[in-house]
Amino acid sequence: MTKVKTSTEYVADSGAHCPVCGSENLEGQALEITRDGASHDIMCLACGSSWVDIYTVIGGTDHLSRYDYLSINGEGGPEQDS
């Protein structure tokens, strides 16, 4: 099993490393501005995982607040309860 960082661990690290493999070899896609802040698609060039950084505006400044998985190791994300 792959140990994947929790959102809290990822944010504490400022999103500087892949939450799946820990690589710094990340590539950001286009930043998308949303009603509440912004979202930023990130892909890990080392393991092929991808996720979305979610930024929330706090006191007029965008802060990385959490991330959502898109895929892990290029295959689907974890099971989602919906």
Interface residue list for Zn ion (CB under 5 A)? 18, 20-21, 23, 44, 46-47, 49
The residue among 24 and 32 lying less far from Zn ion, judged by its C-beta, is 24
Smallest gap from residue 66 Cβ to Zn ion (A):
18
Asked if residue 70 lies in contact with residue 77, where contact means CB atoms within 8 angstroms, the answer is: yes
Smallest gap from residue 23 Cβ to Zn ion (A):
5
Smallest gap from residue 67 Cβ to Zn ion (A):
13
Sheet harboring 26-34: ordered strands across? 26-34, 37-44, 50-58, 61-72, 75-76
Q: How many CB atoms lie within 10 A of CB 15?
A: 21
